[in-house]
């Protein structure tokens, strides 16, 4: 790989060289003239620690070959990187944090996301990988409490199994269940290929998803839909941007909302879901500004448009 002389060396090359120079573990055997041992760790020693050939490690450090993601934690252990350095290694190689998120998330970022969720005046909640609901805001809870319903503990279980979901979720089969089953199918099919990255959290998530699949197979209607999706080539990667229909607990018009999904950098396994009023198409819903259903979807305004989702 040719580089101009005035170009900076690749980040990974400098990172690994510095990590080897600053290695403070057990010393290598004395080599060189007069018993001289270079400081730090040699490329050959790193390769031995990883159980790979020296040539392969040299190619990694020289950017001749990409470093596989599943090797990054082993490489961090071989170089005795601290938690922050491990995060840096992952980010340099993959462009993102490890699947578990940064080792030391900023406490201000954690509380900031919580404050943001509760400040939203549209229904919003956070989920883990098994669709368990971790946190909700007032507007979300108002979709349930005025109707005498307890807010659910798991969004996927609610949509699939709770009778109230058929009332709250417009076009329940085509608008909600089909996409959710396609996403469940993708999660169930890809999890076995991630055993190299297995963690207690991932194992717990996988078990929860398998339990949901077994339960839906016991329901005649859902079992037929699951079978149809299992035979299909379609999957759903995420729900970000999907248009859904919701019926407010006060009754009235079905409201069109756009489900937006994001993940905090400090915890990429966590998903933040927001149900924003859709601003395209006819008769877009409004949000009540005050009263017992403040922040909850209400009937269409006279203009047929919603000026803002954050009221």
pLDDT in tens, the chain (311 residues): 454 444 556 888 888 998 898 887 666 655 555 555 667 888 999 999 999 999 999 999 998 889 998 899 889 889 988 888 888 888 888 887 777 766 777 788 788 889 999 999 999 999 988 999 999 999 999 999 999 999 999 999 999 999 999 999 999 999 999 999 988 988 877 755 444 445 566 778 888 899 999 999 999 999 999 998 887 777 667 788 899 999 988 877 899 999 999 988 777 778 999 999 997 554 444 444 444 444 455 444 333 323 333 22
Q: At what angle do helices 54-61 and 43-50 cross, to 10 degrees?
A: 110
What is residue 29's predicted lDDT score, i.e. its pLDDT?
57
């Amino acid at each position: 790989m040719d580089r101009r002389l005035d170009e900076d060396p690749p980040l990974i090359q400098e990172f690994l060289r510095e990590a080897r120079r600053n290695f403070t573990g057990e010393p290598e055997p004395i080599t060189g003239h007069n018993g001289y041992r270079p400081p730090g760790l040699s490329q050959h020693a790193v390769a031995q620690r990883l159980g790979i050939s020296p040539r392969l490690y040299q190619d990694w450090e020289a950017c001749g070959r990409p470093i596989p993601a599943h090797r990054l934690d082993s490489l961090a252990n071989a170089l005795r990187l601290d938690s922050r350095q491990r995060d840096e290694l992952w980010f340099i190689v993959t462009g993102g944090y490890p699947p578990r998120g940064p080792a030391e998330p900023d406490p201000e970022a954690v509380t900031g996301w919580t404050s943001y969720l509760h400040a939203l005046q549209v229904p919003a909640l956070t989920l883990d990988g098994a669709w368990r609901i971790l946190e909700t805001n007032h507007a979300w809870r108002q979709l349930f409490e005025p109707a005498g319903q307890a807010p659910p503990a798991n969004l996927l279980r609610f949509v699939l199994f709770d009778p109230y979901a058929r009332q709250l979720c417009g076009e329940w089969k085509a608008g909600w269940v089909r996409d959710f089953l396609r996403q469940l199918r993708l999660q169930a099919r890809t999890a076995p290929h991630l055993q190299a990255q297995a963690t207690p959290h991932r194992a717990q998530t996988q078990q929860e998803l398998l339990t949901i699949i077994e339960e839906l197979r016991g329901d005649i209607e859902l079992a037929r839909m699951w079978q149809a999706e299992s035979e299909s080539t379609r999957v759903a990667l995420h729900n970000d941007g999907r248009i859904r229909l919701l019926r407010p607990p006060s009754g009235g018009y079905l409201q069109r909302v756009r489900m937006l999904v994001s993940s905090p950098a400090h915890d990429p396994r966590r998903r933040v879901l927001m149900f924003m009023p859709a601003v395209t198409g006819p008769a877009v819903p409004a949000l009540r500004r005050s009263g017992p259903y403040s922040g909850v979807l209400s009937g269409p305004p006279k203009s047929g448009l919603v000026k803002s989702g954050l009221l």
